[in-house]
Amino acid sequence: MAIRSLFQASLLAPLVSIASAKPIFTGSNGSFAETQKLADPKYGPTPGEDPIFSTYYGVEAPFPGYLRDAVLPTKTGPPGEDDQVWQNLLSAEWIIFDFYQQAVEAFNASAFVKAGYPNTTYQRIQEIRNNEAGHLRIFQNQISPTSVKPGACQHQYPFDDPISFLALVTVLEISSMTFLTGLVESAKLESSHGAMIAIAETEARHEAWSLLEIWKTNPFGGPSDTVFPYPNQILDTTNAYIVPGSCPAQNPEYPSPRQGLPALSAAKNTTSLLPGSNIGLSFVDPTNQPTFDANTQYYAVFFHGTNNISVPINTSCYPAQEIRVTIPAQFETKGVIVAVVADTPGAPTKESVVAGPGIILEQPAALATKLL
């Protein structure tokens, strides 16, 4: 599968479907009753204490990944101050956990060796899968007992071989750093800030492994990862991996609040997404297109590092003609660029964003051809 098509694969033709996960903890069958025991933070292995979250090398889903129902509130009262942020993050973590779990089930060590990757690749994927299982438990425990802990939906992903899977690993791991910075800004409690930073540091190690071992490229992304202030907009793009209608009925909206903005991509004839490249913008979902006011000036806003640059765009001929814009040449070819279309320079509020976001990878060069 071509790299450029990774995020355009149709949900109508799943390439990898979720297998029935068998429990490896306490011999349970993963029933609804056992899932509700997750309301007790002391139930089951503890992340940071049990090696299941680091060095388990089985195929079956580790705890709590096979307990997939929503965990219902055990107390009445107002939600915790950061419950909504943690609910969003837990729902997103189910998407990431299933991504790695499905790969563990679909492939084996020899599949990656035959594809030309190091003989430790499958083991590292299992270890990342284990880390993500630990994140599930950490996030569940951060949500107060007065709020639902979201369960797992069914997920499908556009990979069908080790190469397309590892390409998507890199896209997701690098992109995760962008929304995690915004989530930290969204949280109110100091304890939440610390926990999110700790998770981000682990994700950074996953990203560095991918760049170093898989792509044999420099893992340094410049002096700062990209800060994008509207994490729910990035999380919303991951709804593409959720099978419609498959989520537990008790789950809150994901993400909440959800803007449902038109998806932003590069035009199909794009050959370069390097700084200084002139590209066409495409809004890929025909059922969700932006509406432009003839009396409003719109901008393509590019976030990179801790800064952003706004470029005026001409929307008067859309949709008869594509909208074109030049990626700011000032940006170095490091890390990731996040692009949105906004009605105000700098996109100072989430309401000013009318389409996007799109993710432009600058590293590795083999993947730097895709605007999500």
74-115 pLDDT, tens digit each? 999 999 999 999 999 999 999 999 999 999 999 999 999 999
Which amino acid, 81? E
Angle, alpha carbons 118-121-126 (nearest 5°)? 165
pTM, entire model: 0.91
231 and 103 assigned to the same domain: yes
pLDDT at 365: 77
Q: Which of 241, 274, 294 is the last residue of a domain?
A: 241
214 and 293 assigned to the same domain: no
Residue 206 resides in a domain: yes
Sign of CA dihedral 345, 350, 353, 357: positive
Instruction: Indicate the number of domains in the chain.
Output: 2
Euclidean distance between CA atoms 75 and 61, whole angstroms: 29
Mean pLDDT, rounded, for 236-260: 97
Residue 18 resides in a domain: yes
pLDDT at 369: 55
Taking 90 as the threshold, does the pLDDT of residue 348 lie above it?
yes
280 and 313 assigned to the same domain: yes
201 and 127 assigned to the same domain: yes
Taking 60 as the threshold, does the pLDDT of residue 371 lie above it?
no
Range from 20-34, 54-68, 129-143, 357-371 carrying the lowest mean pLDDT: 20-34
Residue 251 resides in a domain: no
Contact 296, 344 (CB under 8 A): no
Taking 90 as the threshold, does the pLDDT of residue 358 lie above it?
yes
Mean pLDDT, rounded, for 143-166: 97
Share of the chain above pLDDT 70, in %: 91
Mean pLDDT of the residues in the chain: 89
Residue 282 resides in a domain: yes
68 and 16 assigned to the same domain: yes
Higher pLDDT, 179 or 132: 132
Taking 60 as the threshold, does the pLDDT of residue 360 lie above it?
yes
Q: Half-sphere exposure of 57 toward its Cβ, with a 13 Å CA cutoff?
A: 8
* pLDDT tens digits along 234-243: 999 999 999 9
* pLDDT tens digits along 14-25: 223 233 333 334
Euclidean distance between CA atoms 318 and 64, whole angstroms: 48
Domain housing 316: 265-367
Residue 155 resides in a domain: yes
